[in-house]
Amino acid sequence: MKAEKTNLNDCWIIEPDVFEDERGYFYEGFNQAKFKKATGVDFEVKQINQSRSSKGVLRGLHFQKPPKSQAKLVSCLEGEVLDVAVDLRKESKTYGQITMVRLSASNKKQLYIPKGMAHGFLVLSENAKLMYQTDELYSKDHDTGIAFDDPELNISWGMSNEELILSEKDKNLPSLMESNLDF
């Protein structure tokens, strides 16, 4: 496993060791001991989620507020997405900054997003299936987000807003400045 720091504090791109031959491939999607050795992070999976979306679907930017904050390890099992994390931790040196990485079934990269960051993705392929491993259970009462098109974040999604497919919830999320964050 290779772990590469992103520009955001505590946020990592993970590249698993992939073993391929004429039959296909094999890799460990997560190994807690190897993950901790590579990143120094003690990540304990409590819930695994999957989503499937069509091209142009943008999900995000989502997070859970304390005390139910979630760290996530995101993988793309089918297709390709532009995956984005935003640092929401006011005491962090990278507060308000973003990182972007293309996750795909072919590159098998993963993005580790610590507690205190928002997460979102845009589907670039015809379809994409994502898997999220989280260290905290989902809590509807703590689930929230910030606007994908917040001008202060200035995220370049690579598609016009008219091309994006969003949920009503995601269309109406507040900006970072309007959010009441307590990280």
**Which sequence positions are flagged as catalytic?**
62, 132
Phi, then psi, of 107 in degrees rounded to 5: -90, -15
Is the distance from CB of 73 to CB of 119 less than 8 angstroms?
A: no
Buried/exposed 14-48: b ≥16 CB within 10 Å, e otherwise:
bebeeeeeeeeeeeeebeeeebeebbebebeeeee
Token pair belonging to 77: 């099992």
Which of 34, 30, 108, 128 is CA-nearest to residue 71? 30
In order, the DSSP letters of 5-39 are E-SSTT-EEEE---EEETTEEE--S--HHHHHHHH
Token pair belonging to 94: 């990278």
